[in-house]
Amino acid sequence: MTPISSTASPAATVRPDRHEHPVAGPPPRVALVGAHGYGARHLDNLARLGALNLVELVSVADPRPPAKGTLPDGVATFQSLADLLAAGPAPDVVILATPIQTHAPLALAAIAAGADVYVEKPPMASLAQFDAVLTAAGAGGRLVQVGFQSLGSHALPALDRLVASGGIGEVRGVSAVGTWVRTRGYFNRSRWAGKRSLDGTDVVDGVATNALAHAVATGLRIAGAALASDVVSVETDLYRAHATESDDTSVIRVRTAGGAVLLCALTLCAEEQTAPSVTVHGTLGAAEFFYTEDRLTITGPDCERTEMFGRTDLLEDLLAVRRSPEGVARKLLSPLAGNGAFMKVLEAIRTAEQPRAITPQHVRWDGEGDDAHPVVHGIGPLVRRAAAAQATFAELGVPWARELPAPGESSFEVNGKVVAVPSDGSRIPPTSSPRPYLHPVRTLAGTMVTEHLPDDHVWHLGAGVAIQDVNGVNFWGGRTYTRDAGAYLWRKDHGRIVTVAADTADTADTANEAGQGGGSRTETLSWVAPGGIPLLSERRTWTWAAVTASAWRLTLDFELTPSGPDPVALGSPGSNGRPQGGYGGFFWRLPAVDGATAWTATANGEDAVHGAVPSQAAPWLAWSGMFRGAGTVSDKEPDGDPATLVFLPGPLPQQPGDPWFVRMAGYPGVGLSLAWEKAATASHDKPLHRSVTVLVADGLLATSDIQQLITTLGEST
C-alpha cells in the first residue's frame, strides 16, 4: 500500500498568534489521517491545542503507524480512514494530510460519517471532485476547511484596508512570484509526486497546484476571486526541467469577473530559493505580501515600509466556527466553497496539454544523485519579467517556450532566412498601449537585435511606432508625463493601434537588381482612443532586402492622418516639459548589449548623440556591441554575438529637425523624435510623414565599414 504522506509544503508553516482559554465541556474529538510529512506538523499542533483543551486527538489512520511514543496514550491507530470510521464512534473533525488523489474520497467518507473536515491543499484533484464534495458538505451541513495557511494571515485584511483607502492608488494588476528549488529526491519521495495521474486517477501535482499552490490561492484571494464563478478565464503556459509528468516552471494568467488580472510566474528550478510573494500593483505604489513570512512591504513614490503580522491557525479557526453560537454566522478563513476559484485554475492545468520539456541546453544541474536539482538559465529574471509584463513565457519569446499561433502575419525573409517577425500586438496588456511591432528582428547570422516586454519598461515593443501624447491619449504605454504634475503618472489614457488591413508582397516582386531576396508589407492601421474613438489613420510600409552577405536593410515609412476633421497634436514628455525626454515616433528597443557603443560620424557616446539632429555631415547613427538576445542566457554562457545597427533617417527635407533619441545607461534604445520640445501636428492638408532605414549587420563595424555599407546601399536601391 502507498504510504500516506502530506502534500503541504514546509514553507507554508502556520504559526499561531493567539492562545484561547480552555472551553467548557468536552473538546471536539479529532482524527488525523496521514501522520507523516506535513501530518507530523499536525500532530505537533494537535498537542498544542490539546493542552488548551481545544481538541482531543482520538485516532490516527496511516498504513505506516507513527513510531512508538509519538502519540499520546489512548490514541487509537488504524491502517485507513475506512477502518477508523468502522470502529466508531465517528470523530467530530477529520484532518486529511494525505496524497492529492485521496482527498475527495476521504473527504466524502468523513462527511458521510458526520464529521467536519480539514483537508490539506490542493483541496481536490479535479473540479468534478470539488463539486461532489461541496455538494455533500452542503447536504450534510458539514464544515470543510482547506489548508491554505496563508489565508489566515492578518496581513490580508490589512492589505484590503490599504487598497480600499487608495494607499497605493488604483489597482493595475496582481502578480504572484515564486522561485524555489526542488531536487530529484523531492520527486522520488512517493509514487504520486510529479504525476498528472496515477493508475488512471487524477493527481495534478505541479508547481502551481501543489508546491507553490499558496502563491496561486493567495493571489486569487487578493485579486477578489474566491468562488469558481469569480474566474472568467485561465491561461496556462506549462514547462518542466525535471523528468516528471507535471510542470515545474509555469505561468498562469487568471482574469476575474471583477476585471482584475492575476499573473502567477512560478518555478521549482531556481538557482536558489527565495521567499514567494504576491504583489498588488497600484498607480501610486505597490504592496508586496511575502506570505510565508506574514510580511507586507509597501512602496510609494517617496517611501517604503515593512510591516509584520500574526496569523490565525486554520484548525483553530475551524474549531472556533464550530463553537459559534447557533444563529451566529461566522465564516471559515479558507472554506471549500471559497476555494472554487483555485479549483478553476487546477482544472485548467489538469486539462491542459502536457507540460513541454525545457531543452537541455537551457538547463544546468547542480548537485549529485537525489540532491541534484535543475537550474533553468536566467529563470529568476524571467519570472520577474513575466510578472511585470503580465505575459507568459511563450509571449516573452523565451527560447525554450512553445511557439504561439501566428495571427496571420508573414515573417520577413532575406535569402531564405527569417530576419523579422511582425506582431499585431493583440496580446499586449492595455496599460502597455497594444500596437503592431516587429520582434524578433535578427541579423543574417541569427543574432537577435530587438527586445520586447523587458522588465525595466514592459511597454517597450521591438521596432515600431509609438507616441506618448496624441491629443492627450498615450500610445506609448506605461505612465504619462504631464506638464501640470511635472512627473510621470499612471492614468487611464492608454490607446491601442489596431491593424485594419495588411498586405505582404511576394519576395520575387521586390527582389533587387542583384537578385538578393527582399519584400514589402503595407499596413493600414487605426489609432483608437479609450472608448473606441479613432484618432488617427496610419499607412505603414515595411520594406526589406539584402545588402551584402552579412547585412540587410529594413525601411519603415509611415504616414499619420487624422480620423476626424480636425488636426491632431502629437506630443512627447519633452513637449510637455520634461528636458531631454522627447521620445515618440520611430523607436527601436534593443536587448542587453555588452560593450555597447553608439556614435555618429561626428560624435560618440550617449551624451554626445542624444538630442543631436542628423545632418549632411552626420546622416546616420550606429549602435554596436555583443548582443545577448532576449536576456535569457546564463551568466556562465558566452557574452553574446557581435552585431551593428545603422540608423538612417529619410531625406532631410522631408523630416528636418527630428533629433536622435538614444538611451544606453538606463536601457538600450534608439529613436527619432518627432516632438523633441514642441508637439508636431497631423492634418488632412499635411499628414505627418516619416521614414527611417536600419542596416542590420553581423560583426562590429567601424565608421569606414559603415560608410562603405551605405555606399553599397545606394548602389543597390
Q: Could you tell me the three cell numbers for 227?
A: 468562488
Three-class DSSP category at 321 = helix
Q: Residue 382: CA atoms inside 13 Å, Cβ hemisphere, count?
A: 29
CA distance 103 to 83: 17
Spatial CB neighbours of 368, under 8 Å, sequence gap ≥ 6: none
Give residue 519's identity as a one-letter amino acid code. G
Domain boundaries, the chain: 10-150, 154-309+347-393, 407-716
Whole-number pLDDT of residue 474 = 98
Q: Select 154-309+347-393's CATH number: 3.10.290.10, 3.10.20.30, 3.40.120.10, 3.30.360.10.
A: 3.30.360.10
DSSP 245: S
* 551 phi/psi in degrees, rounded to 5: -145, 150
CA torsion angle 328 332 336 337 (round to 10): 60
Helix 213-222 with 340-351: angle, nearest 10 deg: 130
CA torsion angle 254 257 261 264 (round to 10): -30
Q: Could you tell me the three cell numbers for 285?
A: 505604489
Spatial CB neighbours of 599, under 8 Å, sequence gap ≥ 6: 605, 608, 609, 621, 622, 703
Spatial CB neighbours of 69, under 8 Å, sequence gap ≥ 6: none
Least Cα distance to 47 among 25, 23, 21, 75 occurs for 75
Query: What average pLDDT does the structure give for the chain?
Result: 92
Q: Could you tell me the three cell numbers for 291?
A: 506570505
Cβ distance 182 to 242 under 8 Å?
yes
Give residue 122's identity as a one-letter amino acid code. P
Spatial CB neighbours of 418, under 8 Å, sequence gap ≥ 6: 411, 412, 442
Rg (CA), the chain: 30
Whole-number pLDDT of residue 12 = 39
Specify the pTM: 0.91
CA distance 184 to 61: 28
* 226 phi/psi in degrees, rounded to 5: -120, -55
* Distance set, CA 115 to CA 95, 313, 422 (Å): 10, 20, 59
CA distance 682 to 414: 34
Dihedral sign, CA of 557, 560, 561, 564? positive
For 568-598, give one letter per residue: b (16+ CB within 10 A) or e.
bebbbbbbbebeebbbbbbbbbbbbbeebeb
Q: Could you tell me the three cell numbers for 625?
A: 556591441
CA distance 239 to 2: 27
Instruction: For residue 534, list its beta bridge partners.
Output: 528
C-alpha angle with apex 473: 667 to 264, nearest 5 degrees?
55
CA distance 602 to 469: 32
CA distance 383 to 37: 29
Please report which helix (H) or strand (E) contains residue 697, including its range: strand 688-698
Least Cα distance to 578 among 508, 663, 483, 682 occurs for 483
Cβ distance 352 to 239 under 8 Å?
no
CA distance 661 to 268: 41
Whole-number pLDDT of residue 692 = 96
Instruction: For residue 94, list its beta bridge partners.
Output: 31, 117
* 10-150 and 154-309+347-393 agree in CATH topology: no
Superfamily of domain 10-150: NAD(P)-binding Rossmann-like Domain (3.40.50.720)
CA distance 34 to 575: 67
Give residue 389's identity as a one-letter amino acid code. A
CA distance 475 to 568: 13
Q: Could you tell me the three cell numbers for 165?
A: 483607502
* Distance set, CA 285 to CA 162, 279, 294, 304 (Å): 11, 10, 20, 9
CA distance 133 to 136: 5
Mean pLDDT by 10 residues, the chain (717 residues): 37 43 77 94 96 96 90 94 96 98 98 98 98 97 97 98 95 97 96 95 97 98 98 98 97 97 98 97 96 96 92 97 78 97 98 97 96 97 96 95 80 94 94 97 96 96 98 97 95 97 70 62 97 97 96 97 98 95 97 95 95 89 88 51 95 72 96 95 96 97 95 65
Q: Could you tell me the three cell numbers for 582?
A: 522627447
Helix 340-351 with 127-140: angle, nearest 10 deg: 150
Cβ distance 475 to 468 under 8 Å?
yes
